[in-house]
Amino acid sequence: MPGKASDADLACDAQMIDTVVDTRVAIIGGGFSGATVAWHLLHRRPDLSEVVIVEPRAEIGRGLAYSATDPAHRINVPATRMSLTPDTPDHFNDWLEASGALDADPAARHEGRNFPSRAVFGRYVAQAIAAVGARVRHVRATAENIDLVDGRYLVTTAGGTRIRAEILVLAVAHAAPSAPPAVETALHGHPRYVRDPWQGGAFDSIRPTDRVLIIGTGLTMADIVASLEARGHTGEILAISRRGLRSRGHPAAQHDSSGDFVSPPIGTAGDLVRRIRAAVAQAEQAGQSWHCVLDQVRLQGSAIWNALPLAERSRLLRHLRPFWDVHRFRIAPQIEEVLDRRIAAGTLDLRAASLKAIKREGEAIHVDLHQRRGGALVHETFDAVIVATGPAHGSVFASNPALAALEAHGLARPDPLRLGIDVTLNGEVLDARGAVQPTLVVAGPLARGTIGELMGLPDVTNHAIRIAGAVERMLAAGAAEPAA
């Protein structure tokens, strides 16, 4: 049970470890969500001496998404919508124009909009955090255990550092992509099997004329194709998924969102589909594209999600999420052009199919594919296989030692749909019994089971700002800052 250890016990234990850090606020995870919470909190509370961020990477603010060094991996939202401060939507774009980054990457400009590499956006966030100075205390380590001890959260890192915090923000990342077990078993050790396309040098062993199978057809697949193209790959690529859906592009011109999906509230997944179709038809009659309707669905996403009963949320995820994802999470126009060009040339094929069997003979990879349209079973041979299935949401507690510890101590639990962590609408974590942990909050996509749409960066930014506001209110209601 939490709370058994005492401060005296910790004082004794402290003699055997490197550091004990006392702080009012600690954040687990220094990617975009964690950095944004810290940045806004420290600007709101100039009297707060520090925020501790536990993050194993060298820089705060990049995380997995914006640590990518491949220049072909571009942000998939125009720079004018990628800002630390939504009230100043051009904050990043102005920095981008002034930084000289566009001079080094003229292809980032596209018809009046900027789509720079993700690494450039990561630099923007990292510099903003660095400008805060010593008030951000970076503990460069991985959190391995979290418990509640004498009313404070005790975080133990892999390096032995212990952080004691009054308020703890969980801004941890998604679980890594999970390869199908049959693929992992058959191809483990193969020189051109890529289970994690985000690893540095993941594509170094793939030769220019190799025939490549990509498992997945979403945003990750698009980035992979762009990376291979930039490396001079000319061989055939087949990308498969259950439905074979490809992420859509951006509209040719800026537009305002349109439609209403909250008045009256939507009660079923089927009702949502009907309302969207009617709104799209109405938009087309007015000379607008479907983009304006889907943008409104995104803006009202939280209200839509929270009006649905749990069974309907589950139904929506089971049947509609793939269609939502490809319309909501659009690809940068530069990457769209690569896909279009390769499809036209016959070197890229997107197919609705499932993998029925896979085996290796030497370095040749033989697969049997069950095609969704027509039901035929076809045999194909490839030189390389790349997994692009996206985050393994259901395994986030099992794959993250800090979350596994919280669950073991009864301090947190997965949400009912296993999209992340079970929280209140205010982001407060619910423990194993469903009781609110008022000083333990979640920032970022792992709150999406309760909040709804929390994957696109504009939504993540707004949620992080709300969490910073919640922490500010906790600080205002709490005791004086403890001595270091």
197 & 209 share domain: yes
Q: In the predicted model, is pLDDT for residue 44 greater than 60? A: yes
Q: In the predicted model, is pLDDT for residue 60 greater than 80? A: yes
163 & 287 share domain: no
In a domain, 469, yes or no: yes
Which has the higher per-residue pLDDT, 227 or 374? 227
In a domain, 235, yes or no: yes
Distance CA 267, CA 352 (A): 30
Distance CA 419, CA 445 (A): 9
In a domain, 25, yes or no: yes
Mean pLDDT in residue range 136-145: 96
In a domain, 292, yes or no: yes
Residues 6+ apart with CB under 8 A from 467: 37, 169, 427, 441, 442, 443
Q: In the predicted model, is pLDDT for residue 456 greater than 70? A: yes
Written as one string, the DSSP assignment of 83-115 is -S-TTSTTHHHHHHHHHTHHHH-GGGEETTEE-
Under the banding of pLDDT at 50, 70 and 90, the label for residue 225 is: very high
Burial of 296 by CB count in 10 Å (0-12 exposed, 13-18 middle, 19+ buried)?
Answer: buried
Distance CA 416, CA 373 (A): 33
What percent of the chain clears pLDDT 90, i.e. is strictly above it? 69
Domain with 161 in it = 7-73+117-176+393-477
In a domain, 299, yes or no: yes
Distance CA 296, CA 284 (A): 15
Under the banding of pLDDT at 50, 70 and 90, the label for residue 328 is: confident
Sign for the pseudo-dihedral over CA of 77, 102, 30, 39: negative
352 & 425 share domain: no
195 & 305 share domain: no
Q: In the predicted model, is pLDDT for residue 445 greater than 60? A: yes
- Cβ 34 vs Cβ 169: under 8 Å: yes
> Tell me, what CATH number does 376's domain have?
3.50.50.60
Model confidence, pTM: 0.87
Mean pLDDT in the chain?
89
282 & 334 share domain: no
Q: What is the pLDDT of residue 484?
A: 33
399 & 463 share domain: yes
Q: Three-state SS for 185?
A: helix
277 & 319 share domain: yes
Q: In the predicted model, is pLDDT for residue 203 greater than 90? A: yes
Which has the higher per-residue pLDDT, 310 or 394? 310
Sign for the pseudo-dihedral over CA of 315, 388, 396, 38: negative
Point out the least confidently predicted range of 52-61, 127-136, 451-460.
451-460
Which tens digits make up the pLDDT trace of 69-82?
A: 788 889 888 898 88
Q: In the predicted model, is pLDDT for residue 65 greater than 90? A: no
Q: What is the pLDDT of residue 18?
A: 58
Mean pLDDT in residue range 141-166: 95
Distance CA 128, CA 236 (A): 42
In a domain, 88, yes or no: no
222 & 366 share domain: yes
Asked which of 307, 328, 349 is the last residue of a domain, the reply is 328
Residues in the chain: 484
End-to-end CA distance of the chain: 28
In a domain, 46, yes or no: yes
Under the banding of pLDDT at 50, 70 and 90, the label for residue 329 is: confident
Which has the higher per-residue pLDDT, 70 or 226? 226
In a domain, 86, yes or no: no
- Total structural domains within the chain: 3
Q: Which residue type occupies 354?
A: S
298 & 403 share domain: no
142 & 165 share domain: yes
289 & 316 share domain: yes
Q: Which residues pair with 103 in a beta bridge?
A: none
Distance CA 400, CA 403 (A): 5
Asked which of 387, 409, 426 is the last residue of a domain, the reply is 387
121 & 170 share domain: yes
Mean pLDDT in residue range 369-395: 87
Which has the higher per-residue pLDDT, 307 or 483? 307
Q: In the predicted model, is pLDDT for residue 179 greater than 90? A: no
Secondary element (H or E) of residue 293: helix 291-299
Which has the higher per-residue pLDDT, 143 or 198? 143
